[in-house]
Structure 1
């Protein structure tokens, strides 16, 4: 509730929203609750693919990018959809390592590399947003 209240109060100055989950190696964006494409679909996809490429550059970890509903399955209640519909254009959900072998129990040896590569993707998104303020 506090995060939602904060975003509502500051939506005019918040330009990006990123939520981080596990697992599946995905970089998702709206929409997940419906099959229709977001108004900014092409740009959101371009940014997601660039971020996934930046992430892959460190350890070779491959992420799939796309709208949640068509990339995995329709799912209601995603906070990236909520933030996007509130007016936060660059709204993304990371589903971190791995692709299923370990699921939610990622080995300790993979935690730091996951953080390092994910930070590259987050920095990519942040740099893009700074250059493309709306």
Structure 2
């Protein structure tokens, strides 16, 4: 992030939106242009899903180096700014590099917790700690002691609330299973925009009922076009996706982002 913003200081801005549990800065990259409607993309909520941060950096690279060669993307940049958070779970991501490659959660410990870490995707205040989440701090799906208990989640929700009037799309990047998810997941009720959200995607999965996720929270905030991407693969490599599959994975995801952004552009 430092390298790419230094090399492209005329068009990129690095914004610190808070600090992690272990006091690492939380950065969002923004195209440094006149404020307008925007789309939010975050990556790396789950630490072991390494291809997700790879996509966010790939995306920023496309913004800075290839936009003029991509007619569709150039047109989108005339209408949208993009807020991109390459790594939301910075503590967990570091831990996967240094200690435990398959670590998933944050690295927080709360007063009554027996174990370390919260599943930040289940810490948002949308159907909090319902079915599909756990109140046991030792479980992978631990929802935390209360909604937005994690400083990383609080930083993101505060930023999105402050910019909700101009953020028109929310995309959170995960792996794996090659699906696109959309609200709702924490209830069996369809959202009022269900049919349109289905129509945006050529490939989609019906929500996993009663499992709360961050895109449900974003939708309830008022960001109608809220999605989760589950990138490659379907289980052959899982979280250990080999480097030679990063490029095709990012190309696929970029295509999906452009499709969604194009739909938003003509429907807002």
**TM-score normalised by structure 2 residue count:** 0.42
Gap runs ≥5 in structure 1: 53-64
Match of 1:75?
Answer: 211
Q: How does 1:30-41 map to 2 (within 5 A)?
A: 30-41=183-194
What displacement does 1:66 show?
Answer: 3.2
Aligned-pair CA distance for 1:33: 1.1
How far has the Cα of 1:67 moved from its partner? Answer: 3.5
- Max Rg structure: 2
Output the CA distance in 2 between the equivalents of 1:35 and 1:3: 26
Pick one of 155, 166, 177 that aligns with 1:24. Answer: 177
For the residues of structure 1 that align with 2:169 and 2:194, how far apart are their CA atoms? Answer: 15
Q: Name the residue aligned to 1:87.
A: 222
Q: 1:98 to 1:26 in 2, by over 3 A?
A: same
Q: For residues 201 and 210 of structure 2, what CA distance do their matches in structure 1 show?
A: 19
Is 2:102 aligned against 1:102? no
- Alignment partner, residue 17 of structure 2: none
Bigger relative contact order, structure 1 or 2 (CA pairs below 8 A, ≥6 apart): 1
In the TM superposition, structure 1's runs of 4+ consecutive aligned residues that sit over 6 Å from their partners are: none
Question: Is the counterpart of residue 10 in structure 1 residue 163 in structure 2?
Answer: yes
2:246 matches 1:111: yes
Of residues 233, 250, 262, the one that matches 1:127 is: 262
User: Which residue of 37, 41, 66 maps to 2:205?
Assistant: 66
Paired residue secondary structure (2:184): coil
CA shift for structure 1 position 68: 2.0
CA distance in 1, matches of 2:206, 2:170: 15
Q: Name structure 2 gaps, 5 residues minimum.
A: 1-153
Question: How far apart, CA to CA, are the structure 2 residues paired with 1:66 and 1:122?
Answer: 16
Structure with the higher fraction of residues in helix conformation: 1
